Amino acid sequence: MLLRLDPSAEEPLFAQLVAQLRLAIAAGQLRGGERLPAARDLAESLDVNSHTVLRAYQELRDDGLIELRRGRGAVVASGAGRDHRALLKAIDVVVREARALGLSPQATAALLKEAFRT
Amino acid sequence: MNATLTVDQRMRRRRHVTGAVTTVGGLLVLLIAAGITWSWRAQLPDPVASHWGADGQPDGFSSLGGILAVLLGLGGGLVLLFGAATWVLGQTSVTRRIGAAATAWVSLFMAVVVVGSLFVQRGLSDAREAGSVNTVLLVGLLVPIVPAVIAAIVVPGDLRQPTTDPVPADAPRVKLVDGERAVWIRRASTPVGFYLAAPVILVGVALFVWARAWPMLVVDALVIAVLVILTTFVVRVDRAGLTVRSAGGWPRYRVPLDEVVRAGVTQVSPVKDFGGWGWRVGRDGRVGVVLRKGEALLVERTGGRSIVVTVDEPAKGAGLLNTLADRARTGG
């Protein structure tokens, strides 16, 4: 699993991490029952505070994607690995269309958020 | 005097000295064992018991000379084999440590078993009266582990061999924007080891239950410990370079970014390339973490060293390692 953080982006680091992990789970790179790296290790690799990683893990737990167990660390929830391929394909289409129109990621995301409201 | 030698020369000398010292040490252990038992020849029955059945009673007999010939021939042969491998292939500290540990364990195991099993026969007129040697076998299996681990630790490690040569342009890359941080983590594991070990473990338990051969339980415990150490690894690429760590936390292997010559993808056939599974030493001294056949991450390192890890999606890991190595070299 490849995780990347861009400190120059506006999105906070923990939110970027949440998005990256969500993606890894959606793409099936992380399967149910699989253990996530220890927060301390991940923090060291990405040169961030371990609270940042823990905060990302807590967010994913609140979404039911991972379970935090004492002693075992973070484990991907068994129901988390549902097939997202169709969704990812549709998103590819959205990105392509947005690029063709010259829309920024922020503008596209705003449209997506708006669409959820209806 | 070291000042006049290049790092390459010092590394070559390191593997030659390690190979020579461990070989001499191993042979010395075997010779001392042979000398001690030979000095007992007047007190020993002739022939002596040389093999014990599952019931703990001797069922094979040999002359003292025959036993010593096996001790020196087989033991000496193995010691020379490990020493030669260290001498020729020991570019990487892992190889030298494995060679030193194997030499220490094998020579001491054979010495303890021969000395111990003959010790209990001193003063007997008939070797058939020799009692069980379970304790001797157990001591022989376990006690040499301590000096073997010490030998592995004492062996001098690798000198830092940083390079500023760029990673070849045709090697895979992962695109990162300036300042972007990235990590690639994969678990590599295999159930093969378990399937191979399961019969050994079951036979061990059966022998224990049926024949009270309790050293077999120790063998089982060792097999299980080896399984845990050798069948699950976490492979990580980040700003520290490549880290391959056993699930047990040890052993671990690290390639810093400034020692990466090139990372890529290769195909591995465990038996053909490495003679089996686990932490292996292959042709040219290549270190292998070999858990299955097929695609693997290959990292070529300065000093003619290289490591292969059978992990999924190796192209991504190789790409990130090359990209981070580029970055470390351009100071970006």
- Sequence ranges of the domains in chain A: 13-76, 85-117
- Taking the CA of residue B256 and the nearest CA in chain A, the distance in Å comes to 13
Whose CA is closest to B241, among B253, B229, B231?
B253
Token pair, residue B71, equals 């001790």
Q: What is the pTM of this model?
A: 0.80
The answer to whether B79 and B92 have CB atoms below 8 angstroms apart is no
| CB atoms B181 and A41 under 8 Å | no
Which residue from B179, B182, B238 is facing A8, i.e. has the nearest CB?
B179
The answer to whether B175 and B190 have CB atoms below 8 angstroms apart is no
What's residue A72's pLDDT?
A: 74
Query: What are the C-alpha distances in Å from B43 to residues B36, B60, B69, B211, B309?
Result: 12, 19, 19, 31, 54
Whose CA is closest to B317, among A59, A31, A1?
A1
Which residue from A4, A7, A37 is facing B185, i.e. has the nearest CB?
A37
Query: What are the C-alpha distances in Å from B85 to residues B11, B21, B81, B91, B304?
Result: 15, 13, 6, 10, 16
| CB atoms A5 and B186 under 8 Å | no
- Taking the CA of residue B25 and the nearest CA in chain A, the distance in Å comes to 40
Q: Which residues, including other chains, have CB under 8 Å from residue B304's CB and lie 6 or more apart?
A: B91, B284, B285
SS3 state of residue B169? coil
- Taking the CA of residue B188 and the nearest CA in chain A, the distance in Å comes to 12
| CB atoms A2 and B234 under 8 Å | no
| CB atoms B185 and A45 under 8 Å | yes
Could you give the angle at the alpha carbon of A58 between the alpha carbons of A112 and B239, nearest 5°? 90
The answer to whether B173 and B318 have CB atoms below 8 angstroms apart is no
Q: Is the dihedral of CA B38, B41, B46, B51 positive or negative?
A: negative
Model-level ipTM above the cut of 0.85: no
Give phi and psi for A105, each to the nearest 5. Answer: -55, -40
What's residue B213's pLDDT?
A: 72
CATH classification number, A13-76, choose in 2.40.10.10, 3.40.50.1820, 1.10.10.10, 3.40.50.11890:
1.10.10.10
Tell me the CA end-to-end span of chain A in Å, nearest whole number.
Answer: 34
The tens place of each residue's pLDDT in chain A, 118 residues long, gives 899 999 999 899 999 999 999 988 887 778 888 888 889 989 999 999 999 999 999 999 999 899 988 777 888 888 765 667 788 889 999 999 999 999 999 999 999 999 988 7
pLDDT digits (tens, 9 = 90+) for B147-156: 999 999 999 9
Q: Tell how far CA B326 is from the center of its chain.
A: 33
Architecture of the B184-330 domain: Roll (2.30)
Number of neighbours of residue A84 by Cβ within 10 angstroms: 16
| CB atoms A41 and B180 under 8 Å | no
The answer to whether B82 and B102 have CB atoms below 8 angstroms apart is yes
Whose CA is closest to B258, among B190, B171, B326, B313?
B326
pLDDT digits (tens, 9 = 90+) for A14-31: 999 999 999 888 877 788
What's residue A82's pLDDT?
A: 65
Q: Identify the burial level of B100 via C-beta atoms within 10 angstroms of its C-beta, where 0-12 means exposed, 13-18 middle and 19 or more buried.
A: buried
Q: Identify the burial level of B315 via C-beta atoms within 10 angstroms of its C-beta, where 0-12 means exposed, 13-18 middle and 19 or more buried.
A: middle
What's residue A73's pLDDT?
A: 83
Q: Identify the burial level of A117 via C-beta atoms within 10 angstroms of its C-beta, where 0-12 means exposed, 13-18 middle and 19 or more buried.
A: exposed
Contacts of B236 in chain A (CB under 8 A): 37, 41, 45
**Ranges of chain B with pLDDT below 70:** 1-3, 193, 331-332
| CB atoms B236 and A45 under 8 Å | yes
Sort residue B56 into left (φ over 0), alpha (ψ -120 to 50) or beta: left
**Which chain B residue has its CA at the smallest distance from A8's CA?**
B179
Could you give the angle at the alpha carbon of B256 between the alpha carbons of A71 and B312, nearest 5°? 60
**Which chain B residue has its CA at the smallest distance from A45's CA?**
B238
Q: Which residues, including other chains, have CB under 8 Å from residue B159's CB and lie 6 or more apart?
A: B7, B10, B11, B14
Contacts of B177 in chain A (CB under 8 A): 6, 8
* Alpha carbon distance B102, A93 (integer Å): 58
